């Protein structure tokens, strides 16, 4: 979409345009696993040849047009990014442009050769998804036999070439009892950190919530506190439990812990079909897809698209419910506005986790202000 000149000028006057810090490249619409909780729900593609992948020339175009707006890093994800048939070429472009590199992978294709290629970039950071401490647990979640051993090999291959590696462990009812053991396993493999993800109620994750295969918010809060207060102090690894900012300890906040902050104001998604999007949620919500790479100037999209302008003018002041009351809202920005839109059709809706915690009396009163939110009586801080 290209805005008329008067529309662009009006938008530019109305809001301050932030820099583009990162482009999130969703390189493939396919994936070689069939994960039960995936919020993008890519189609099964074991070869990377059945479904769209982002053309290299569009990858280059998006980077070139984003550079004047402050681009400093890219994240390569998917589907499964290593399925891209020209993945090595993409790495070469990132190096040539001097950009920071983050990769999220299931590890199935992360051979020693691929790890060595990634290591050519300055200080790359790679996250590998491992959802259990044994094959029975992980392979059931990931849907493909042998995926556990492949993920373990991937971490070892990355560590062997000096790459900072993170294990992403998505917590659900079937694996919640393995959290402590996962930390021990990550230490032995030489990983740098472990991030414990909460299943979001999007796409396949929505079905897991409906089937009650996820933990309740009360259980998640208890587990998160266990990670923060009992596991983190006794390990050399960095541990992150990905619940919203309001649930972090003051020490974590003081140390600049970025959990629960997605940086939505300074990122832009690029889908495998060559379209710009708010983020990967565009795979599920067409309303949040805007502009064609190589056809619409990124400048036009970034500075004047109505969706981005609405977010810039609305956050955090238009947040509703418990998010309107939260003292962390200027930092958290509704935790995940894309999830809010998916669930309730508007960015400003309260984040599901915080709303459920509030309804259960579990939202920290010390993080609440006194302003009344729509549909709520006044709440006093402790």
Q: pLDDT for 260-315, tens place per residue?
A: 567 889 999 999 999 999 998 888 899 999 999 999 999 999 999 999 999 999 99
pTM summary value: 0.91
Torsion of CA 253, 170, 182, 261, to 10 degrees: -20
4 pLDDT higher than 70: no
Question: For residue 42, what pLDDT band results from cuts at 50, 70 and 90?
Answer: confident
- Of 86, 50, 93, 40, the C-alpha closest to 277 is 40
pLDDT in tens, 308-358: 999 999 999 999 999 999 999 999 999 999 999 999 999 999 999 999 999
Q: Which CATH number fits domain 5-215+263-267: 3.40.50.2000, 3.30.300.30, 3.20.20.70, 3.40.50.9100?
A: 3.20.20.70
Mention every residue, 6+ apart, whose C-beta is less than 8 A from residue 332.
244, 245, 246, 260, 261, 316, 323, 326
Give the mean model confidence (pLDDT) for residues 5-32: 77
Separation between Cα atoms, residue 37 and residue 202, nearest integer Å = 9
Q: Which residue has the tokens 């999209």?
A: 301
382 pLDDT higher than 50: no
Strand partners, 332: none
Question: For residue 26, what pLDDT band results from cuts at 50, 70 and 90?
Answer: very high
Question: For residue 8, what pLDDT band results from cuts at 50, 70 and 90?
Answer: very low
| Contact (Cβ atoms closer than 8 angstroms) between residue 350 and residue 357 | no
Separation between Cα atoms, residue 309 and residue 65, nearest integer Å = 19
379 pLDDT higher than 50: no
- Bridge-based pairing of strands 43-44 and 30-31 is parallel
Furthest C-alpha separation in the chain: 59
The pair of structure tokens assigned to 287 is 């309303």
pLDDT at 169: 98
Separation between Cα atoms, residue 296 and residue 275, nearest integer Å = 9
pLDDT at 371: 55
| CA 322 vs CA 114, 209, 326, 334, 352: distances in Å | 45, 21, 6, 10, 10
pLDDT at 99: 98
């Amino acid at each position: 979409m290209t805005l008329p000149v008067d529309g662009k000028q009006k938008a530019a006057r109305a809001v301050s345009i932030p820099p583009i810090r990162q482009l999130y490249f969703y390189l493939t619409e396919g994936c070689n696993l069939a994960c039960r909780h995936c919020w993008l729900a890519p189609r099964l593609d074991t070869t990377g040849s059945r479904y769209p992948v982002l053309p290299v020339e569009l990858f280059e175009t998006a980077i070139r047009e984003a550079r004047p707006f402050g681009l400093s890093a890219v994240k390569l994800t998917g589907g499964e990014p290593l399925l891209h048939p020209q993945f090595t070429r993409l790495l070469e472009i990132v190096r040539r442009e001097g950009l920071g590199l983050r990769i999220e992978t299931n590890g199935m294709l992360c051979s020693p050769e691929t790890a060595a290629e990634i290591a050519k970039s300055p200080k790359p950071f790679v996250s590998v998804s491992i959802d259990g401490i044994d094959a029975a647990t992980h392979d059931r979640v990931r849907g493909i036999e042998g995926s556990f051993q492949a993920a373990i090999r991937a971490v070892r291959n990355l560590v062997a070439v000096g790459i900072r590696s993170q294990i992403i462990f998505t917590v659900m009812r079937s694996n919640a009892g393995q959290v402590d053991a996962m930390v021990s396993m990550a230490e032995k493999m030489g990983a740098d950190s472990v991030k414990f993800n909460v299943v979001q109620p999007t796409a396949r994750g929505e079905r897991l919530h409906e089937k009650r295969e996820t933990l309740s918010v009360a259980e998640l809060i208890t587990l998160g506190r266990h990670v923060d207060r009992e596991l983190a102090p006794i390990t050399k690894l960095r541990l992150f439990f990905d619940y919203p900012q309001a649930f972090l300890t003051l020490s974590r906040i003081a140390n600049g812990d970025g959990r629960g902050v997605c940086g939505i104001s300074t990122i832009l998604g690029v889908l495998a079909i060559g379209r710009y999007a708010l983020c990967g949620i565009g795979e599920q919500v067409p309303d949040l897809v805007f502009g064609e790479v190589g056809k619409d100037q990124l400048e036009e999209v970034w500075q004047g698209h109505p969706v981005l302008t609405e977010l810039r003018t609305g956050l955090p002041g238009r947040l509703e419910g418990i998010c309107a009351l939260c003292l962390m809202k200027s930092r958290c920005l509704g935790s995940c506005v894309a999830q809010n839109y998916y669930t309730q059709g508007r960015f400003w809706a309260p984040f599901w986790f915080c709303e459920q915690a509030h309804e259960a009396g579990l939202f920290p009163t010390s993080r609440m202000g006194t302003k009344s939110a729509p549909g709520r009586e006044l709440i006093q801080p402790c």
